[in-house]
Chain A
Amino acid sequence: MKQALIISGIFHVSLLVFAAMDIPWFDQVENVEMEIIPVEMVDISEVTRTFEIAKEPEPLREKPKPPERQPQRVDNLPPPPPRMPSTMPLPKQTAEAPAEKPKPPLQRAEAPRVTPKSKPRPPSRLDLAALRNLVPERSLEERIADKLGPQEQRATSLDVQRQTMTISAAIRKKIEDQCWNPPVGADTSESLRVTVQVFLAPTGELARPPVAEDYARMNGFLKVAADSALRAVRMCAPYNDINLPKDMYDQWKEIKMNFDPSDMVS
């Protein structure tokens, strides 16, 4: 019975985690700040600004500091300091510790008090390593989320989405305007949609040759369409003239491009 309850609990939690991460509208339905989207999504230069915006809330989080009584408690309660270590690399971002270790809010309040002190650093590294081992790969989205409180996390995931969309739009524009010469002779009744996997190096060059899905089995018009898509990807390389944010490399190192000339061929 107990085991069943635990299993059921895990399933429910996983369902919520999945919904929060994978269903965009789930996120948006709850998010009251919908107005932000139209304002900030359009401009490419926001790639850099979004970080500044994300950091702004930090000062607010430090408000809990004022209670001056608490600092004294620090001395009385040695256990909390070990937790601080995780925040040490980024001294000002006191909120990190709670985000990484879901502990009672009480400890969060204590954390800020300790930050000014540099002594606790050494023990902190041990904890960091341990944490990294626990979470092998963390996306940028997560890392930014860690630095922020729960309210900002939603906004950050939107920012990442926006940046991803900005990158997509820029690459799409470059290929459509400068590089793709769609096949013209095709029989319009045949679908000529071709999917190409593009692998980019951090420099914006092709890390390895682009691959058209099912190329080996293609022939006739479809193969010609795939050739034109591959030519376009190669022609446009390197992509370093597009402002590809280096810290988001994980997001754009592999790109899936769907070439569909059906609107062009008549």
Chain B
Amino acid sequence: MRMLKILIVSLFGFIAATLSAHAVIEIDITRGNIQPLPIAITPFVGSDQQMTTNGSVADIGAQIAQVVTADLERSGLFNAIDPRAFINSGNVAAGPQFANWRAVGAQALVTGTTVLEEDGRVRVEFRLWDVLAGSQMTGLRYYTAPQNWRRIAHLISDAIYKRLTGEDGYFDTRIVYISESGPYLERIKRLAIMDQDGYNHKFLTDGSYMILNPRFSPTSQEITYLSFYNDTPRVYLFNIDTGKSEMLGEFEGMTFAPRFSPDGKKVIMSKAEQGNSDIFVMELSTRRVERLTTHSAIDTSPSYSPFGRYITFNSDRGGSQQLYVMDADGSNVKRISFGDGRYSTPVWSPRGDLIAFTKQTGGKFYIGVMRPDGTGERILTESYFEEGPTWSPNGRVLMFYRKYPYDNNGGGGDTQLWSIDLTGYNERQILTPLDGSDPAWSPLMD
């Protein structure tokens, strides 16, 4: 009898449970509108009275907010709300009035403070808020010499970018490129470096000899490039911190298109001898050189995959210039590009999922990406002359150079640096003091 009762009770329980299970509606949301996230960035609050070598800490706070705003807007993923629309700039101590920020349409909010420390450094704090939830998402504090405020701003941009997108940022980075000036036939080409937003520009060479193909080490602040010092093309290493350069060795023939391996311990390049070029790799510690391709066709522009297992390069061994992938020891060569036109300058994304390239067809140039197996080709930009893509360290943005030639042979004309993100919609020019070409993106700074 007791069993019977238990059974009846459990039966009722079972029915009640199934009924209550019915009460919850389940909805699958699979579509949405990808839009820049509305974000409000308030001037960082500081005292007018605390003076530094770079103005008052209040000025520094306002400037930091401007740099963060520009960084995030340039990424194309954020829509910074005009400060004139702010209902209040926020009393930092009291915490934000979220209703006021919701009223201006902000979904994220950045507040911060700048304070002068006794040792002369500036303390910068920021907080990122989720306006709709009314909660803090992240908050960090930095100490720095007043003149480094711009770098702190980029670090804050990176932290915000990472928290809101899940990806590492790319704002605390630098660009090396070839600065060009002078008439078409007597071009002066100098190595130059700047922050990724164009500030802190510096020339690294004086222009007395030509520089080509600068490439950043993925692990340190070192650059490899091709120099025509003494009218002989050679691959050099240049340390940005010390300003010292060294030649990577004497080679017979002409070496060009150098690029670091992902661990920064090797440099891969192509070397031309008697009209034919093949791919070689040099170990930097021993200067030992190994030949990777042996083919009568022209093999050039090698680039390692992120873990160094594969190399992509371009070759005309199939009759026209196309992209190939091979193992790091030179074996197992496979062609990956099969579209119309010529493909060149392949560069493996730091994320490993894509290879960027320059494509030339129908009298136009294109920058595009494809998967390492050659599928999913996507064209991102087009113009009458553009090439040389370089990846941001997070593998989301490409920088390249574009030329507006005077004649049909691609001669003369303004040369500019441009960037495009993987969506293909956020195309922007990077302003340089003179003409600029052949950019190379640094890794995130230490």
Contact = CB atoms under 8 A, between A and B. Distances in A.
Contacts of A42: none
Nearest to B132: A234
B27 interface: yes
B3 A3 contact: yes
B19 A139 contact: yes
B166 interface: yes
B107 A256 contact: no
Contacts of B351: 187
B7 A10 contact: yes
Interface in B1-60: 1, 3-4, 7-8, 11, 14-16, 18-19, 22-35, 37
B165 A185 contact: yes
Nearest to B37: A181
A258 B29 CA distance: 6
A220 B164 CA distance: 9
A131 interface: no
Interface string B252-279: 0000000000000000000000000000
Given A18-B18, A264-B32, A250 B166 contact: no
Interface residues of B, number: 41
B25 A252 contact: yes
A37 interface: no
Contact of A256 (B22, B25, B423): B25
B283 to A, nearest CB: 32
Given A186-B166, A231-B130, A258-B26, A10 B3 contact: no
B133 interface: yes
Nearest to B26: A256
Contacts of B130: 227, 231
Interface string A163-180: 010011001100111011
B329 interface: no
Contacts, number: 140
A142 B16 CA distance: 12
Contacts of B24: 254-256
Given A10-B8, A185-B77, A257-B27, A220 B166 contact: yes
Nearest to B21: A22
A164 B25 contact: yes
Given A17-B15, A185-B166, A260 B29 contact: yes
Contacts of B11: 10, 14
A251 interface: yes
A172 B29 contact: yes
B34 A184 contact: yes
A232 interface: yes
Interface of B: 1, 3-4, 7-8, 11, 14-16, 18-19, 22-35, 37, 77, 107, 130, 132-133, 137, 163-167, 351, 353, 396, 423
Interface of A: 3, 6-7, 10-11, 14, 17-18, 21-22, 137, 139, 141-142, 164, 167-168, 171-172, 175-177, 179-188, 209, 220-225, 227, 229-232, 234-235, 250-264
24 contacts: A7-B4, A10-B8, A11-B7, A14-B15, A139-B22, A142-B19, A175-B32, A180-B29, A181-B32, A181-B35, A182-B32, A183-B166, A184-B165, A185-B396, A186-B166, A222-B166, A223-B166, A225-B166, A227-B130, A231-B107, A232-B32, A254-B25, A257-B28, A258-B28
